[in-house]
Chains A and B, each alone.
Chain A
Amino acid sequence: MAPVLDDLLRRRLILVSGKGGVGKTTAAALLTRLASRLGRVLCVELTADADAFSPLSHALGDRLSGEQPTELAPGIDGVLITPQKGFLRFFEQVLPARWMARAALKSKVIRRFLVSAPAFAETGALLRLLDLVGRTDKDGAPRYRTVVVDLPATGHALALAQLPRMLLRVVSSGPLRQVGSEGLALLTDPRRCGAVVVSIGEELPVSEALELVAGLRRSEIPVIGVLVNRVPRDPFDEAERAEVERLLAEHGPALGGELVARIARARVAEARLQQPDLEVARLAERGERGAALSAALAEEHGR
């Protein structure tokens, strides 16, 4: 198994992010499948409403995640995180009576404030994540060995990473401040948490991946490495490559030439990821789609 995957699977909480369209969800599904071989795993998607499309559960099979953890496959539960549920669970814990928690969220004013005021929706999501990571079975053992989170794309992921610190600055006392401390402790603990940035071998996604790695590290989130997705098959050895490039230059544009150029771009982009402190693993481009794709990748990388 690639060291970056192996390293990630040692953590309790795996965060997956990257530029839009690079295959974050495929990578999250792959990690979920690999983690399920080691123990029960929960895969998590963040959403504004529970009826929204759920790409991660689609990448794992036919069953859909709900607001409550739902079994998607043997050993794999899926859940959609909504801010409302996070606040409900939180209020149930901190308010003296359950009716008060329900009344609070029944109030249109409070509910809508919590989901639409800047940063509150994200706070609700963090609350729910902590709640789910902390789940235990009757014997007190953690319910899930691994929790895999399919985070939003770069900008939003960075903002989420800053959230616990923001809570600590804004809230001076009370249980929400404690949530900030707990969140910060979990997200910055290299033994419990690991982030992976997904990219493809093109110039802009690689630039964005490097920015995201730097940004997450500024927030002290342990970044394990980068997964380069959809790596094109490179059939050439160095001598052949030189000959083919000469051929194309001499005889003008030929069919297949754009694929040669794409392979060259991927090589250049990947070279930029070769940095100290950054492990890189490559996921080859494959013909499968959806659940079959993540299953084939797990087969390939699980060894």
Chain B
Amino acid sequence: MRGDADQRRPGSPTYLEGLLREKLLLLCCGAGGVGKTTAAAALGIAGARVGRRVVVLTIDPARRLCEAVGLPAEGAGGAAPRPLAADALAQLGVPDAGRLGIWMLDPTAILDSLVVACAPDQASVDAVMENRLYRVLREVTLGVQEFAAAEAVYRLIEDDTHDLVIVDTPPARNALDFLDAPDKLSWLFNRHLIGFFLPSSSRGFLRGKVHKLINNVFSRAFGEGFLDDLGAFLATVSVVFETIREHAERVKAYLTSEAATALLITSPEAAALAEAELLRERAAAMKLSCSGYVLNRSWAYTRGLRDPSTITLCPGGPAAARTGQAKLVELAVDHQRWAQRDRALLAKIRATMPGGFAIATPSYGAVETLAGLGALATHLVQRAESEGEQLARARKPSE
């Protein structure tokens, strides 16, 4: 990232730390089950440690994560982020200026609060809330999540009580939806479109024909009265939609600006790697910059681990100690093989990330405790270097 990397001294910031200091939004993308939410939380801690006021938005319900950082999982959604308590921050080594909030996306709460914010009066609020389709929509939340995610990101970037937003996106195939949500919205909640579904007074010839077709198809397929319901629904909530659309446009512009960058999170599994690559192409097509790769759950680290065959057993100990040790040695051979595989994989990924970083995190198992997340944050910041930084470090082996 910068030419002065070779002047880096021990303790000077790494590339990732630079991102945490400079960027306003980090988007964590990757396949499901690769540890995205955990990585997002650890990055949040790392951000707070450099003195920023951070909010981590998680799209998947992350009960365990909330418990780990001392937040009650029940009601962790709601309409605003929940701040970590001062003692949790202190335990994590966050300085006075640093803040960390966690926000679990609650599509229903977001939808409702938008209705209230957009409606001119209480009667209009009631009208929307009583609409049959709206009530089903807020209950089922099918397809609502992505729109709500865009709106939540909008609120976070507009709110100047935080200065770094970290977004944990839904699993891969849905993550693409999230990135697409603004475009989908601008189309779906377009006044012109809604016009087609409303009982009309004035319409041109062509538009009249389309309306007639819609009327014909919908009433036959979806039952008499459905189109009326839909029309009423669209009419009452069109203001809400319009607002979401405007906000989504702003989010899209923001995501593609200098302020934001994406990080790809993956595991060594072939399927996860393929999804990450797909997401990277998609991000590039959207002109969203991509700054790094985190290879989670890797076996790449073996330094400091002793060879179990060198352990001397007490003579006269149980037979199970000897056979157990022999089996441990077999497992050590497995670990060594996996370590080679994962290091090769990391090198390959790194080669595709010129200018960015690629980092492996160890396969600790569950790190969802306060101490575990803090350790992961330290690991990420210390090891996530750009190429230039690595070269510089290679020239100074003493570091």
Question: Which chain A residues have a beta carbon within 8 Å of chain B's beta carbons?
Answer: 19-22, 25, 48, 52-53, 55, 90-91, 94-96, 100, 103-104, 107, 109-110, 112-113, 116-122, 152-153, 155-156, 159-160, 162-163, 166, 169-177, 202-205, 207, 235-237, 239-244, 247-248, 251-262, 265, 289-290
Contacts and interface: CB of A to CB of B under 8 A. Distances in A.
A116 B34 CA distance: 28
A221 to B, nearest CB: 15
A251 B270 CA distance: 35
Nearest to B34: A21
B136 A170 contact: yes
B332 A118 contact: no
B336 interface: yes
Contacts of A160: 142
B254 interface: no
B271 A21 contact: yes
Interface stretch (B20-28, B208-216, B374-382, B389-397): B208-216
B150 to A, nearest CB: 13
A205 B33 contact: yes
Contacts of A156: 174
B330 A235 contact: yes
Interface stretch (B48-56, B87-95, B154-162, B301-309): B301-309
A103 B174 CA distance: 30
Contacts of A104: 213, 217
A22 to B, nearest CB: 6
Interface string B292-310: 0000000100101111100
Given A239-B320, A258-B362, 14 more contacts: A20-B32, A52-B173, A117-B143, A120-B143, A152-B173, A159-B141, A170-B132, A170-B229, A174-B220, A203-B366, A241-B324, A254-B328, A255-B307, A255-B332
B133 interface: yes
Contacts of A262: 363, 365
Contact of A166 (B140, B174, B320, B330): B140
B188 to A, nearest CB: 5
Nearest to B313: A247
A255 B229 CA distance: 65
Contacts of A172: 223, 225-226
Contacts of A171: 222-223, 226
A207 B219 CA distance: 44
B222 A256 contact: no
B213 A103 contact: yes
Interface string B192-234: 0100100000000000001001101101111111100100000
A18 to B, nearest CB: 9
B221 to A, nearest CB: 5
A159 B108 CA distance: 14
A153 B324 contact: no
Interface string B57-89: 000110110000000000000000000000000
A118 B142 contact: yes
Contacts of A25: 271
Closest 8 CB pairs of A and B: A20-B32, A21-B33, A174-B223, A256-B332, A118-B143, A240-B324, A256-B331, A239-B320
Which residue, of A118, A162, A174, A205, has the highest number of chain B Cβ atoms within 10 A?
Answer: A118
A162 B143 CA distance: 13
Contacts of A118: 137, 142-144, 147
Nearest to A153: B32
Nearest to B330: A235
Contacts of B334: 256, 259
Nearest to A160: B142
A55 B327 contact: no
A64 to B, nearest CB: 15
B288 to A, nearest CB: 20
Nearest to A115: B184
A257 B305 contact: yes
A20 B184 CA distance: 25
